[in-house]
Chains A and B, each alone.
Chain A
């Protein structure tokens, strides 16, 4: 089965604290994984793609095939990071469709 699981619906941290948003996936092949972010009342935007191994807005994510995880991390959270974060998987050769996790709401308190 192709599935993405984000176990936390809400994650609340204080400004400056480290953040880790968890994502686990179920997929038999080599996955293509993404993180999308949705700020309040805005459209979803691509944050990270695992292949590019880049850091955007201080966020990084490493694919761990052994643990089938793709957790999103940031060492020092900022208030402007407050948003909904979605982990997504794109199955191979299925037209580019994305399977999303349920999302995690990150709240960064001052």
Chain B
């Protein structure tokens, strides 16, 4: 199993541009989580899905952020328009609903200039 796969690994974009981050969870895992990691705020939960359905998006900072999970093997996190303060490492993680441990992806390091 290749684990949780995120793409791209690094993204540098200009302020105002649309950014799309992608995640492929582990096959058979039915819960998916998006986290953001910054020096100031540490790891923050943005949104999570159970069986492709968004359950809690209270951590999504603004309407500029949106996330989708069209099927069990793919999720996207979109920022439109991006701003410099969105610069962070974005992690995706998945787990079985009946399990306890997350498997994290390698993260996407986003830099908005």
Residues of A within 8 A of B (CB): 32, 34, 42-46, 49, 51, 86, 90, 94-103
Q: Chain B, 77-113, contact with A by CB distance < 8 Å: what is the 0/1 string?
A: 0000000000000010101010011101111000000
Shortest CB-to-CB span from B59 to chain A, Å, is: 9
B10 shortest CB reach to chain A, Å: 12
Contact B43 A46 (CB under 8 A): no
CB <8 Å contact, B42 and A98: no
Contacts of A34 in B (CB 8 A): 100-101
Closest Cβ of chain B: how far from A31's Cβ, in Å? 13
B 1-16 binary contact with A (CB < 8 Å = 1; else 0): 0011000000000000
B73 within 8 A of partner (CB): no
CB neighbours (8 Å) of B33 from chain A are 97-98
Choose one: A43, A94, A96, A101; the contact of B97 (CB below 8 Å): A96
| Interface hits, B7-39 → A, CB 8 Å | 31, 33, 35
CB <8 Å contact, A96 and B31: yes
Q: Count how many chain B residues have C-beta atoms less than 8 Å from C-beta atoms of the other chain.
A: 25
A44–B104 CB distance below 8 A: yes
Across the interface, B104 reaches (CB within 8 A) one of A45, A51, A90, namely: A45
Partner of B102, one of A32, A46, A51, A101: A46
In the complex, the chain A residue whose C-beta lies closest to that of B47 is A97
Determine whether the beta carbon of B102 is less than 8 Å from that of A98: yes
By a CB distance below 8 angstroms, the chain A residues around B42 are 86, 100-103
Q: How far is the CB of A33 from chain B (nearest CB, A)?
A: 11
A95 pairs with B101, CB closer than 8 A: no
User: Assuming A44-B91, A95-B55, A97-B56, is B101 touching A49 (CB within 8 A)?
Assistant: yes
Interface centre among B4, B42, B44, B106 (most CB of A within 10 A): B42
A1 CB → nearest B CB, Å: 14
Interface string of B40-79 (1 = CB under 8 A from A): 0111110010100001100000000000000000000000
Q: Do residues B100 and A32 form an inter-chain contact, with CB atoms below 8 A?
A: yes
Contacts of A97 in B (CB 8 A): 33, 45, 48, 56
Contacts A95-B31, A95-B56 known; 14 new A-B pairs at CB < 8 A? A32-B100, A43-B3, A43-B4, A44-B91, A44-B93, A51-B100, A90-B100, A94-B56, A95-B55, A97-B33, A99-B45, A101-B42, A103-B42, A103-B43
